[in-house]
């Protein structure tokens, strides 16, 4: 079996991005030092956003969850943070975690602070995350969202995710990472066009 070495994330260069509302963010690896920042991001999520992200009502992140979410090897578990350069706060996080019995398949999740949603941050994070999955030779990314979460469905489909299964009020979408590069590039061009029109989109 092919081995995959862990990394601290120091070898992953931060990326400065102009998003659709005209603001600048930095996308960098999430680290163990980001517990406080992740807690603050959670506090900026509404009850609805928390329900959409965790599929259950949630009032806080436990110490165990904070440890899990920040102890990232950046290979089988990747997590990227969108940073507001004005105050250093985390305004969004995108991550994938590989399935235990499918080493080349990973589950995807994205959250963005409510006051920064619909401004292109999720798009920028998703593009970078798909790129990291490609570097780490993931074959498939899978995302589960609620049917009523239209912004998430639109974001995922923009990057080439396709519906694979539906159960109750939830929809599973999969992305063939090896076939996604052209789709991802196209999404980046769309984001640039929106930025030039000063539009504030998802």
- Comparison of pLDDT for 7 and 87, the residue scoring more: 87
Instruction: Enter the pTM of the model.
Output: 0.82
Distance separating alpha carbons of residues 21 and 75, to the nearest angstrom: 31
> What pLDDT is stored for residue 102 in this prediction?
79
pLDDT digits (tens, 9 = 90+) for 16-71: 999 988 899 999 999 999 999 999 999 999 999 999 999 999 999 999 999 999 99
Where are the chain's structural domains? 15-196
pLDDT digits (tens, 9 = 90+) for 49-62: 999 999 999 999 99
What band does 184 get if pLDDT is binned at 50, 70 and 90? very low
Q: Are 202 and 52 in contact (CB under 8 A)?
A: no
- CB-count exposure of residue 58 (10 Å: 0-12, 13-18, 19+): middle
Distance separating alpha carbons of residues 65 and 97, to the nearest angstrom: 14
Alpha-helical regions (H) of the chain? 35-43, 47-54, 63-70, 121-135, 150-158, 181-196
Domain 15-196 part of CATH 3.40.630.30: yes
């Amino acid at each position: 079996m092919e081995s995959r070495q862990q990394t601290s994330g120091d070898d992953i260069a931060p990326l400065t991005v102009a998003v659709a509302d005209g603001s600048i963010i930095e996308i960098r690896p999430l680290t163990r030092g980001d517990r406080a920042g992740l807690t603050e991001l959670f506090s900026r999520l509404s009850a609805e956003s928390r329900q959409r992200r965790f599929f259950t009502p949630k009032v806080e992140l436990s110490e165990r969850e904070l440890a899990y979410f920040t102890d990232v090897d950046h290979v089988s578990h990747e997590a990227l943070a969108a940073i507001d350069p004005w105050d250093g706060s985390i305004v969004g996080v995108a991550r994938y975690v590989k399935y235990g019995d499918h080493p080349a398949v990973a589950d995807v999740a994205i959250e963005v602070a409510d006051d920064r949603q619909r401004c292109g941050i999720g798009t920028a994070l998703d593009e970078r995350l798909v790129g990291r999955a490609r570097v780490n030779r993931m074959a498939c990314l899978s995302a589960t969202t609620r049917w009523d979460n239209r912004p998430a469905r639109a974001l995922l489909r923009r990057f080439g995710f396709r519906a694979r299964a539906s159960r109750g009020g939830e929809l599973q979408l999969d992305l063939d990472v090896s076939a996604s590069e052209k789709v991802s590039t196209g999404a980046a061009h769309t984001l640039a066009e929106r930025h030039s029109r000063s539009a504030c989109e998802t």
